[in-house]
Amino acid sequence: MDAIVVGPGLGRDPKLAKLIDKLLQFVDANQVPFIVDGDGLWFLSENITMLPRLESAILTPNFMEFSRLCKAALGVDDVVKIRDPEEIRKLAVRLSDKIGVAVFVKKEHDILVDPEGDVTESEAIGSPRRVGGQGDTTAGSLGLLLYWARKTGLDWKSARKEASMASSWLIRESARRAFAAEGRPMTTTHVIGQIANVIRMVDNK
């Protein structure tokens, strides 16, 4: 297995907690690129102690999911009400350090935080409209790019950074183009439809 992305469309059936636990054990033993998004993050926020310290994993919360994780791991309430970007960065550093896993927070500017405390912020410009499913697309592309980054020989820390920034740019640029073409009615399907065009642009440079 080259990479695992768990969470998008998973649902919250309590029986799935056993599946998440088995996947975590498998990833821990085999160091497979592992991305946790969507409902996968909900399960972790319900039982944060099930998460081992994993070099090969990246959690990809949106701001609401990030707030739940901070409450579960740090005991900090109402993170979703925080507007100061610097305070959010500090909380992300604390969270990653506490759980021992990299955290990629999807906000106005995506940020990657490593357990070592390093913070990398994406400067990619996206669409004025963020659509449902865009975060799932980011998580999926991140799983693939993390696998590719490791195949080039990068260590896990460098691979996480390169893959996260590449994924952020790829999906944001695709969303920007989708909005330019479709306007407000754009959907995630339009974003996905632009990915091949963005990759062709990179290949032609």
CATH number of the domain that 87 lies in?
3.40.1190.20
| Residue of 94, 102, 73, 115 whose CA lies nearest to 167 | 102
3-state secondary structure of 14: coil
Containing structural domain, residue 119: 4-203
Of the pLDDT bands very low, low, confident and very high (cuts 50, 70, 90), residue 98 is very high
| Alpha-carbon span 195 to 188, nearest angstrom | 11
Count: domains in the chain: 1
Question: What are the CB-based long-range contacts (under 8 Å, 24+) for 192-201?
Answer: 192/137, 195/141, 195/170, 195/171, 198/170, 198/173, 198/174, 199/170
Q: Are 57 and 34 in contact (CB under 8 A)?
A: yes
pLDDT at 131: 86
Per-residue pLDDT reduced to its tens digit, 170-184: 999 999 999 999 999
